[in-house]
Structure 1
Amino acid sequence: TQHWWQLTEPCQQPLSDRPAGAWWAPMEEVFHLD
């Protein structure tokens, strides 16, 4: 897992509207499968 994070983290760009200190920004759910 740590190796995967090292490979993929440079590809992730934080959104400008995310809360301070958060990795993810809240979004509206557009698809749900039960």
Structure 2
Amino acid sequence: MAERSPTYVFVSHDFDNVLALADYVAVMKAGRIVQ
């Protein structure tokens, strides 16, 4: 089995946090970045 990187999920209701992290967010599907 191939080595896999950990996946982190961050949920925030603080809009300032969302804006601060927006440059670092990726949407993935089947292991590929789609957005």
TM value normalised by structure 2: 0.37
Q: RCO (CA 8 Å, sep 6+): is it higher in 1 or 2?
A: 1
TM value normalised by structure 1: 0.38
Bigger radius of gyration = 1
